[in-house]
Copies of this chain bind each other. A is one copy, B any other.
Amino acid sequence: MLPLNADNKMNKLTSYTEAISLIKSEQSIMVGGFGNPGTPMTLIEGLLKSGVRNLTIIKNEANEPGIGISRLVEKGIVRKLIISHLGLNSRVIEMMNNKQVEIEFHPQGILAEKIRSGGAGLLGIITDIGVDTIIADTRKVVDFYGQKAILEKSIRADVALIHAAAADTLGNLCYTKTAFNFNPLMAQAADLVIAETFEVLEPGGIDPDHVHTPCVFVDHVVHVENNPRLYGVLAHHVL
């Protein structure tokens, strides 16, 4: 691990403890990941132990029972989930049905675009997805050049927790395999962006053509261990 350097504003390598201490109760928090890949498991562990509560979490899904953000929901520290689906998490579905957590569903790609739009400094997007369904009942529906359309508002958050395959000390990130998913979008869409990574490189360690998230979006890089307990293959998903 590279030395932390508080004097150098260009060095974003931050200790795990310090990074977690920046997250407060009542905040809205975007969490990368689609299933296990790209879910910032170590940062979530930190959040679990930090004592924060009343969180709004924005994520693709709620992971599976006992894993990732499901643990935050199960602990009762999540007030609201803004999410695409809960298909693999019967425990959170039950909590939703019991009104122990508020859920706001969006079509998956629209959730992605709302977040991307927030990160891109746009106010929102215009789409025809869902115009003929019950989701239109709770959306702003307009006529757009003769076509029924939904105006979807951008989403931004106080904090984004990102899992990157590698980072340099300036905060440039790259992702691998199916662990991209929501990470590059969320990394642009929050006021405080904390990225965990297994590998920290010196500036120049990532080919400038292969940077997936330019460093300007990232506030803190946290070097974490590739702990098999958190990041290993889930046996029940192997054929």
Which residues on A are within 8 Å of B, measured CB to CB? 113, 117, 120, 122-128, 144-145, 147, 149, 151, 153, 165, 174-177, 208-210
Cα distance, A153 to B145, chains bound together (Å): 9
B126/A144 in contact, CB under 8 A:
no
Interface centre among A123, A151, A209 (most CB of B within 10 A): A123
Q: How distant is the Cα of A209 from the Cα of B164 in the complex, in angstroms? A: 12
Nearest-neighbour CB distance to chain B for A46, whole angstroms, equals 27
- A-B pairs with beta carbons under 8 Å apart, 24 shown: A113-B120, A117-B125, A122-B125, A122-B127, A123-B126, A123-B127, A123-B144, A123-B145, A123-B149, A124-B125, A124-B126, A124-B144, A124-B149, A126-B151, A144-B151, A144-B153, A145-B153, A165-B209, A174-B209, A175-B209, A177-B208, A177-B209, A209-B210, A210-B210
A128–B121 alpha-carbon span in the complex (Å): 9
Interchain CA distance A69-B117 in the complex, whole Å = 31
A176 to chain B: which residues have CB within 8 Å?
209
Residue of B nearest to A209 (CB): B176
* Bound-state Cα–Cα, A232 to B145, Å: 44
Tell me which residues across on chain B come within 8 A of A208, comparing CB atoms.
Answer: 177
Q: List B contacts of A165 (CB < 8 A).
A: 209
Measured CA separation A112–B214 after assembly (Å) = 18
Nearest CB on B from A221, distance (A) = 19
Nearest-CB distance from A228 to chain B (Å)? 22
CA distance A62 to B176 in the complex (A): 37
Task: Tell me how far the C-beta of A142 lies from the nearest C-beta in chain B, rounded to whole angstroms.
Answer: 8
A174 to chain B: which residues have CB within 8 Å?
A: 209
A150 nearest CB neighbor, chain B only: B123
A201 CA to B144 CA, complexed, in Å = 43
- Chain B residues, Cβ within 8 Å of A153: 144-145
CB-based closest 3 A-B pairs: A124-B126, A123-B126, A176-B209
